[in-house]
A and B are shown apart, each in its own frame.
Chain A
């Protein structure tokens, strides 16, 4: 019996394969899409988590202005819960590439042999080559913007950025041969640390052996803690635990540093005292006459004889005695040279003392810096980006699941309706309802289980990888892991089963409550009804006969009409969103680099060569191609407000009234031109949103030890990166120092030779280089292009959705109306007329669906733009007009494909069907 039932079901599947497939495909699509997108966030986070744990990423990093010494390490080790601890060195240096100085951060690397795995933190992940083994070797990172010379085998020559210092004071050698390419887990994105040299931010890191650093203190110390690696590193739990631990370690560390500071201070005070005393003594000697000297000599001699020869007192007394002897000798022989020499010695030692005193006074208070993983903007934004995908996962799949439910419901209903006679016969034969139902339940069960299994296996593999790949331009992480997620599988499958099986149950129940005789009679088709439109003769009478039929039919099968409208609307909305998003992204570059930035290029000034605004001005007069220029200071800072932080570029133009020719500062709210005032700053709109700032609030700008609070005067329109514009007055008021101009914005005369100008500027050695806005815009666009993948995912899903829904519905529509179609064929309708009879309905529901899709698309686009946006840029909120016709055309195309396939199905319908008894 059981095998017979199964066989019957399998035969049923074989004979109605199209129907089976439509349930299978829609369930696979729905489940695969849902599980795949939903799994992306945990997959991204878990992969990062595993990566951090494998490479012992530090939880906390400590620095101080007095460095890190062994006694600090000793006291830190004693903190409860410290798991790994590793001190390290770093040094910011210049590297000359294509005539421009780029900033590298040399970071120490400990060869593994000298420390336990637990204490080997921030392990480098080797991509190519090998890790440094001996002095003078390094590994580099590879980024899109990395110089061409960052290749294995090349040798980097490093330059000390501080002209008053020598590189050999910090590093053993200045030449490093690249032996490998590696990444540090501490830098998962493309943001590097801030620095006090050059333009203010490191361009790239290089890693060299610890032994290559020359220093009597470490620059930083990395810590990990027990139990933290078991917490999701992006979770609140981890965050809270880390901030607790940060407080604790900060206290210990600052006590330790403070102690060292006090002892250093004491030491230097003591040495100043001694020096002063010696100088005073010396002065007394020089001022004394010969008799006094002789008397002193004698008394010192007796004093000396009482002292043991190795005490320190003996030495100082002896020195004094020597000096007296020398002085007496010189006076007796009247040796002017010796005498003046001795006078000089006194003055120089006095100077030395003054120097030491000044140094002591200038000795800054000890300051410690505690940073954790969240202080890296990339770390935080990785968290946000994965959450963003999760947001998208909340809308789209829900939509797919609704459609899947509708498709299953109509398909199963149709199937059971078709088999009424069979069901009735079974019932008449005495089969119980459950037994009859079993066949349909197995049918739906198989389609659903297979669909969800195939869909989820593929979805879990494809979506996280595709989406992660799109984000890969922004992050430097190993390929995402896509483990099979049983919980998702079970959840999705159970949901899908509930949907399909309840569709079967509901339909079967409606059939089985009747008597067998009733079941065997054909189901009374929904009776013809007058529609509302007929009550409006004005419109109704104008419709052609066939249009009237179409209207009636559409309204007769309301459920199906609704479903095709929903399916088509979804498709159109997805396509609109896809193209709209593409335009919103690609227009950023256009808006930023054409509408907001008006200058042609920006030249970076070598501030060691050109130290004042006047010098820069003077140097520019040599270049005829420049029509206008404006000096500015451009520096990276951390902007903080409401305990949120972002990296900003603080831009201070020399003459704020001239800025309108170089940068268009327009109010983000009303488009009015903004003027800079000396009271505060103008910030860009995305920054204001991210930091939750409005006009009148303040933000804190900080870099290293500098920090200043600035009032926000206005919010300007801007699309890429974050800027804070200030006048020189406002800058010096806020930071308590004058601004140093390091960039010149340039406008060029028409027909200027850009390459030649760039070469001339670099050759003058006064400029580090020039970047033209066109090139910047282009490379910006390139970097955004990978987001196209997401758009293609959207469009392909939209197509799949539209095709499945439309095919399914049209198929049902045809099979259910075979008789009607056969009849009109007998009545002499030509093939084209027969198709038109059916297609007219499809066309109307497609058109209505498209119209609804337009509306839905506007909202969907808005939602996706807001959720998918990355922190650094502001997508164009407006939806481009051509997304509408394009999405309509594509939707119609999908519908045409479906109808084309159906055309053959319609042609195959035999007229003999019209003679058959009603089933």
Chain B
């Protein structure tokens, strides 16, 4: 059985009189330890899938199975526990708390979870040795995104969900961030799902799921994913 599986998932938003189908029977599978990329143009339904997978939104139909549990059947509270213990989230705009230092931002996440890693160790692992006690305003964009990744990893999640992690970064910095994510996947066996509109990074993934008009249009499996350094876009 696949580690993550979406089976015929529907999501409909009501905009006044019009029903907008944000997910129209989406189905795919991702295996444990895979680096998966979900690509699609704006409005293809990427974020909706991410929201449902991350337990931030509920589906209107279908099943979402993560590590053998169907999260569509979760209560509101169980869903929060799922977010808190099982999902690590990396945001496009980092979403660090400005008033907390890098270390404290990581601690904000770890202090509510059970199986956590030490904040300073994780920060060192993402390459922020020496910037541990800096405030976000004192860090560059790439560094802030590293803090955000450290915050997600420190929770020891089953799943790392990344929403356009390079969207607010320049080319080179973006690349190093993707490298960090890829390394995390390879070295720690973490299941990483990256959402992006940039199909150029597809070769680095184990699995590429392409969305179009709220439907899965193509699923490609890369048996030989390349390292991110070799990709140019």
Contacts and interface: CB of A to CB of B under 8 A. Distances in A.
A4 B98 CA distance: 38
B111 A820 contact: no
Contacts of B42: none
Contact of B98 (A525, A830, A911, A917): A525
A94 to B, nearest CB: 83
B101 interface: yes
Nearest to A916: B93
Contacts of B77: 830
A651 B91 CA distance: 87
B84 A823 contact: no
Most buried by A among B82, B84, B85, B98: B98
A483 interface: no
Contacts of B51: 911-912, 915
Contacts of B92: 915, 917
A823 B91 contact: yes
A545 interface: yes
Interface string B113-135: 10000000000000000000001
A528 interface: yes
Interface in A531-583: 545-546, 548-549, 552-553, 556
Contact of B135 (A528, A553, A826): A528
Interface stretch (B102-110, B197-205, B209-217, B218-226): B102-110
Interface in A811-831: 819-820, 822-831
A528 B97 CA distance: 9
B8 interface: no
Contact of B89 (A525, A526, A820, A826): A826
Nearest to A830: B80
A833 B112 contact: yes
B109 to A, nearest CB: 5
A525 B89 CA distance: 23
B231 interface: no
B89 A528 contact: no
21 contacts: A527-B137, A528-B136, A545-B111, A546-B111, A549-B97, A549-B104, A552-B100, A556-B99, A819-B95, A820-B97, A823-B97, A827-B83, A827-B108, A828-B80, A828-B84, A828-B85, A828-B87, A829-B80, A829-B84, A911-B51, A915-B92
Interface of B: 47, 51, 54, 56-57, 77, 80-85, 87, 89, 91-93, 95, 97-101, 104, 107-109, 111-113, 135-138, 151, 163
Contact of A823 (B85, B87, B95): B95
A628 B135 CA distance: 83
A553 B99 contact: yes
A830 to B, nearest CB: 5
A528 B100 contact: yes
B98 A526 contact: yes
Interface string A830-846: 11010000000000000
Contacts of A827: 83-84, 89, 108-109, 112, 151
B99 A549 contact: yes
Contacts of B93: 917-918
B133 to A, nearest CB: 9
A552 B91 contact: no
Contacts of A911: 51, 56-57
A528 B135 CA distance: 6
A918 B84 CA distance: 24
A524 B137 contact: yes
A911 B83 CA distance: 12
A762 B59 CA distance: 92
Contact of B100 (A549, A825, A829, A833): A549
B112 A829 contact: yes
Nearest to A524: B137
Given A549-B99, A917-B93, A912 B84 contact: no
A831 B81 CA distance: 11
A914 interface: yes
A499 B1 CA distance: 67
A828 B95 contact: no
Given A527-B135, A527-B137, A915 B163 contact: yes
A2 interface: no
A529 interface: yes
Given A528-B135, A828-B84, A829-B80, 6 more contacts: A525-B98, A525-B137, A553-B99, A819-B95, A831-B80, A911-B51
A913 B123 CA distance: 26
B20 to A, nearest CB: 14
A122 B84 CA distance: 84
Contacts of A524: 137
A828 B112 contact: yes
B107 A545 contact: yes
Nearest to B56: A911
A824 B100 CA distance: 13
Nearest to A822: B95
Given A827-B109, A918-B93, A527 B98 contact: yes
Nearest to A528: B135
Contact of A824 (B47, B54, B101, B108): B108
Contacts of A820: 95, 97
Contacts of A918: 93
Contact of A552 (B56, B83, B99): B99
Contacts of B101: 528
A917 B136 CA distance: 17
A828 B80 CA distance: 5
Contacts of A556: 99
A830 B79 CA distance: 10
Contacts of B87: 828
Contact of A528 (B109, B113, B137): B137
Contacts of B82: 828
Contacts of A912: 47, 51, 56-57
Contacts of A819: 95
Contacts of A915: 47, 51, 91-92, 163
Contacts of B107: 545
Nearest to B76: A831
Nearest to B93: A918
A742 B206 CA distance: 113
A165 B85 CA distance: 106
Contacts of B137: 524-525, 527-528
B136 A828 contact: no
Nearest to A823: B95
B91 to A, nearest CB: 6
Contacts of B135: 527-529
B28 to A, nearest CB: 21
Contacts of A825: 56
Query: Top 3 closest A-B pairs, CB basis?
Result: A828-B84, A528-B135, A527-B137
Contact of A826 (B83, B98, B136): B83
Contacts of A829: 80, 84, 112
A820 to B, nearest CB: 6
B89 to A, nearest CB: 5
A556 B84 CA distance: 27
A869 B122 CA distance: 69
Contacts of A525: 98, 137
A911 B161 CA distance: 14
Given A528-B135, A529-B135, A833-B112, A826 B54 contact: yes
Contacts of B97: 549, 820, 823
A915 B101 CA distance: 21
Nearest to A917: B93
A828 B111 CA distance: 11
A524 B63 CA distance: 42
Nearest to A545: B111
Most buried by B among A556, A829, A833: A829
A841 to B, nearest CB: 11
Given A828-B80, A829-B112, A914 B95 contact: yes
A823 B112 CA distance: 14
Nearest to B77: A830
A547 to B, nearest CB: 12
